[in-house]
């Protein structure tokens, strides 16, 4: 009789399978300092998540991307207001103009509004809100794929100059244990 009592529990556990043996794991990547002096002097950051132990530990069993953010400090170096965007290309690229980035990449994040000469610390919550659906889709595709892509920080329009310091890419992956 006691054994019979445990059957529903065991059946439920069996049915849940790998759903039970999964979790949400943090993977971060250092984007460092990015200094963009003009729309024709853009610098991309090539990301290879395979350099990160946390990613390698789970990459064979990643099911989805649960949360993601681009963190750090962003400064507008000009006297005019600036809308900051982040674009991604799914491969390792070296575009040097924002026109090339827009023609070949995906708008992943933004815009983040900065006043003249303003520097802002981008919080995790704020950053998650600024991620676009297309950006999330591309990030998830890359996290589940080869883990390499390129990040470009640009202004939305006009002439601009900006600096990112202590930049980080943060991903929370849904994966098996």
Partner 1 sequence: MRRALWLAAILVALAPTLATAGGRIGVGVFGGASFPIVQDDVGTGSTYGARVPLEVLPLITIEPYFAGSAMGEGEATLDGETYTRDGFDMTAFGGNVMLGSPSSPGFQLLPYVGIGYNHLTRAGSADIDEVGFNFGLGVGFAVLKKLSLQARGELNMVVTGDTSRKFGNLTVGVNYNLLKF
Give the binding site for partner 1 (CB under 8 A).
5, 8-9, 12-13, 16, 18-20, 22-26, 28, 30, 63-64, 66-67, 69, 71, 123-129, 131, 166, 168, 170, 172, 174-177
What is the spatial distance between Cα 167 and Cα 105, in angstroms, rounded to a whole number? 20
**Toward partner 1, which CB reaches closer, 13 or 92?**
13
Q: How far is the CB of 25 from partner 1 (least distance, A)?
A: 6
**Toward partner 1, which CB reaches closer, 8 or 79?**
8
What is the spatial distance between Cα 143 and Cα 60, in angstroms, rounded to a whole number? 11
Residue 85, beta-bridge partner list: 154
- Name the helix (H) or strand (E) containing 134: helix 133-144
**Toward partner 1, which CB reaches closer, 84 or 175?**
175
What is the spatial distance between Cα 144 and Cα 160, in angstroms, rounded to a whole number? 34
What is the spatial distance between Cα 23 and Cα 15, in angstroms, rounded to a whole number? 17
**Toward partner 1, which CB reaches closer, 62 or 106?**
62
Q: How far is the CB of 40 from partner 1 (least distance, A)?
A: 31
Contact at 8 Å (CB) between 177 and 30? no
Q: How far is the CB of 47 from partner 1 (least distance, A)?
A: 15
């Amino acid at each position: 009789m006691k054994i019979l009592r445990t059957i529903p529990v065991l059946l439920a556990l069996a049915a849940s399978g790998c759903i039970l043996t999964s979790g949400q794991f943090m993977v971060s990547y250092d984007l460092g300092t990015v200094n963009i002096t003009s729309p024709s002097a853009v610098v991309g950051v090539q990301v290879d998540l395979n350099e990160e132990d946390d990613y390698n530990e789970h990459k064979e069993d990643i099911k989805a991307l649960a949360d993601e953010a681009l963190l750090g400090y962003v400064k507008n170096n000009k006297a005019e207001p600036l809308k900051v965007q982040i674009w991604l290309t799914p491969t390792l690229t070296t575009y040097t103009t924002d026109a090339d980035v827009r023609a070949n990449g995906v708008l992943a994040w933004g815009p983040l509004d900065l006043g003249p000469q303003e520097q802002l610390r981008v919080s995790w919550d704020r950053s998650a809100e600024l991620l676009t659906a297309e950006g999330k889709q591309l990030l998830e595709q890359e996290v589940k794929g080869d883990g390499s892509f390129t990040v470009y920080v640009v202004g939305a329009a006009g002439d601009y100059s900006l600096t990112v310091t202590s930049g980080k890419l943060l991903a929370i992956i849904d994966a098996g244990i």
